[in-house]
Amino acid sequence: MAPVLQIDDLKVEGRTPRGVWVPTVRGVSLKVHAGEVVALIGESGAGKTTVAMAALCYTRPGTRVVGGKVTLGGVDIFALDARSRRAARGKDVAYVAQSAQAALNPAITIGEQVAEPLLLHGIATPEDARKRALALMTRLDLPNPEEIARRYPHQTSGGQQQRVMAAMALTCTPKLLVLDEPTTALDVTTQIDRGAESH
Ligand SMILES: Nc1ncnc2c1ncn2[C@@H]1O[C@H](COP(=O)(O)OP(=O)(O)OP(=O)(O)O)[C@@H](O)[C@H]1O
Ligand SMILES: [Mg+2]
């Protein structure tokens, strides 16, 4: 069976403050098959986030892909037009960012944000989306989900925000989940509990 994600010889460059493009990712290849967990390990600045973002065909401003190929379920994601890429993001592949603070929309309540992918992709009615969002928030151990759903991101803790991000990523049951250090803001005990449970 074709891998869910295949990255071949990915090359990315980043622009220095002086405007010079330098290599940041020098030919990374990896495959993720269904049911498989693949971890990227490297020191700070090694390029983990850069590679993870490439799986969604996303590059941060000041970075550019200069070589390689990324296929999602056999589809070359760099070859897709912007609309098809947007259709895939959140539904086929979801991303949990390293910084929840930077990724959550400060002007939208938690409940609306978790339900939003289902509505954007036309998967559920508003009522079903709300129910599914609450169920996921419960599964992710968010205390009193009904109440948290009514809050804005700044009214929640860093660890709660990170779990909200995870809930958002899971709403459309994507084929591929890209997690960028998804437990850094959680208590050590929660990290251990959840880790033990998933093994
Ligand atoms: N917007 C940008 N413009 C130019 N260079 C960048 C940009 N973002 C990151 N870089 C550079 O790309 C390299 C890889 O960064 P990346 O964020 O992928 O590292 P990382 O392995 O995720 O690190 P960390 O563990 O600290 O999160 C770094 O050397 C960084 O300085
Ligand atoms: Mg990173």
Please write the tens of the pLDDT for every residue from 42-92: 999 999 999 999 988 889 999 999 999 999 988 999 899 989 888 888 888
Of the listed ranges 23-32, 162-171, 176-185, the one predicted with least confidence? 176-185
Ligand 1, closest atom to CA 51?
A: 18
Residue 101 has pLDDT above 80, yes or no: no
Mutation probe of ligand 1 site: the residue of 63, 66, 181 with most atoms within 8 A of C-beta: 63
d(CA 170, CA 12): 28
**In this structure, are 12 and 77 located in the same domain?**
yes
**Cα of 6 from ligand 2 centre, angstroms:** 20
**In this structure, are 75 and 126 located in the same domain?**
no
Q: Which among 86, 121, 136 is the end of a domain?
A: 86
What average pLDDT does the segment 13-33 reach?
97
pLDDT given for residue 125 in this prediction: 95
**In this structure, are 81 and 107 located in the same domain?**
no
**Cα of 184 from ligand 2 centre, angstroms:** 11
Residue 199 has pLDDT above 70, yes or no: no
**In this structure, are 64 and 143 located in the same domain?**
no
**Cα of 60 from ligand 1 centre, angstroms:** 9
**In this structure, are 157 and 110 located in the same domain?**
yes
Q: Relative to the alpha carbon of 53, which ligand is closest?
A: 1
**Would you place residue 189 in the very low, low, confident or very high pLDDT band (cuts 50, 70, 90)?**
low
What average pLDDT does the segment 108-130 reach?
94
pLDDT given for residue 198 in this prediction: 47
**In this structure, are 120 and 184 located in the same domain?**
yes
Residue 32 has pLDDT above 60, yes or no: yes
Residue 108 has pLDDT above 90, yes or no: yes
Domain-embedded: residue 91? no
59: phi then psi, degrees, rounded to nearest 5: -125, 140
Ligand 1, closest atom to CA 181?
A: 27
Q: Which among 37, 60, 86 is the end of a domain?
A: 86
User: How is residue 159 annotated by DSSP?
Assistant: H
d(CA 154, CA 109): 10
**In this structure, are 112 and 168 located in the same domain?**
yes
Residue 133 has pLDDT above 50, yes or no: yes
Q: What is the mean pLDDT of the chain?
A: 90
Ligand 1, closest atom to CA 42?
A: 21
**DSSP assignment string, 66-104:** EEEEEEETTEEGGGS-HHHHHHHBTTTEEEE-S-HHHHS
pLDDT given for residue 102 in this prediction: 78
Domain count, the chain: 2
DSSP three-state, residue 13: strand
Token pair recorded at residue 155? 């009214």
Q: Which among 29, 60, 86 is the end of a domain?
A: 86
**Cα of 145 from ligand 1 centre, angstroms:** 34
75 CB neighbour count, 10 Å cutoff: 13
Under the phi-then-psi rule, with left for phi > 0, alpha for psi from -120 to 50, and beta for the rest, what region is 156?
A: beta
**In this structure, are 9 and 58 located in the same domain?**
yes
**Would you place residue 196 in the very low, low, confident or very high pLDDT band (cuts 50, 70, 90)?**
low
The helix or strand, by DSSP H or E, that contains position 22, with its residue range, turns out to be strand 21-32
- Say if strands 63-72 and 75-76 run parallel, antiparallel, or are unpaired: antiparallel
Domain containing 47: what range? 5-86
Mutation probe of ligand 1 site: the residue of 16, 48, 98 with most atoms within 8 A of C-beta: 48
Domain-embedded: residue 28? yes
User: What's the CATH code of the domain at 176?
Assistant: 3.40.50.300
Q: Relative to the alpha carbon of 48, which ligand is closest?
A: 1
pLDDT given for residue 159 in this prediction: 86
Return the higher-pLDDT residue of 100 and 189: 100
**In this structure, are 10 and 75 located in the same domain?**
yes
Domain-embedded: residue 95? no
**In this structure, are 124 and 156 located in the same domain?**
yes
Total-model pTM? 0.85
Domain-embedded: residue 93? no
